[in-house]
Chain A
Amino acid sequence: MVVTIFRALDDETRRLVLDELASRDGQTLFEICSTLATRHGLSLTRQAISQHLGVLEEAGLVMTERRGRSKFHYFNPAPLAEITRRWPIPERTDP
């Protein structure tokens, strides 16, 4: 599981997708594609972005939900806690 999280995060496009979902949660594939193109100048194919979303979903970082007849993507930060569980950030003790 942890390996999947690190692999999922090891890609700038996937990190941008998480940035965009973190700033506005619940987006369709169409909206994610247009946002990556207009805000970040990324001209990936819809299939490529769909595959990136698949990796993020596999890692548990993106959840999908059907509303009506459309599918929406949500950011799920919960798996990120695994990082600080494994390497806790020590409380700074200022002298």
Chain B
Amino acid sequence: MTARSIGADAAPYGRAVVPSVWSRLWSANGPGYLFLLPWFIGFFGLTVGPIVTSFYLSFTNFDLLTPAEWVGFDNYARMFTADPKFAQSMRVTLLFVVFSVPLKLAFALSIALLLNRGMRGLPIYRAIFYLPSLLGASVAIAVLWRQLFAGDGVVNDFLAIFGIQGPSWISNPRTSLWTLIALAVWQFGSPMIIFLAGLRQIPVDLYEAASLDGASKWRIFWKVTLPLLTPVVFFNAIIQTIEGFKSFTPAFIISGGTGNPVNSTLFYTLYLYQEAFAFFRMGYASALAWVLLAIVAIFTGVSFLTSRYWVHYDD
């Protein structure tokens, strides 16, 4: 088991001896590009155009209804010098990512490990824990969350048993973001399933060998399970962080698209959406999007660089 990243020195497929340059080129690259053909068509046909367009629009004023007008770096300049809402939405989003992602992953992993023990009623538990994620972005969630986290909601009814008088969590600017973090963590089903699938792929003989060596379960977890699970942990961490930064629907549904109270739930993409579709500033919204992309890309890049030290692939 060596730690390697994409593009490392794995041997290419193909015949061992090749006569000409062209057929050597083909055997080295052909199969790869053939397999990528659908993706290339999709990428160049459907994806690149809109992405490049949005990059261009980020240097313009574009109100959706009339043609875009070039303004150079104005949008970017405004963001960093004259837009308190940009700073606020960035702060809200960072807080959300920092708390919701680790919590969600921890929940997902521990429940997956518990469920992987092969206990009775496993399918039922698994289904129950996945149910909230099925709800997705349903309008019903707004009502549900109010029912739970309002001043006279269920959470406070419960706290009252211990003599605690809680605030109206969802509508107090000091606590409202936490109800959205709770929502994100509550919907931990997807990473849980991915962890479970990862656990399922760990070959049983490794456990056998470790057990015969007399290793404790704790040791087996650290020495066998976790290392073999690192590609999946890595995947979940990257994906959840990207999704966290792009998180839109929780705040959109629960704050009715406003980001209130007092902008305490103004997620970055919610602000972007308001600019684009409520205030007709698609140019500015595009600039916001590209700044977000830069931030997420830097984070992801660093993660990939560090991954060679802790992610173990079997290839």
Are the chains A and B members of one assembly? no
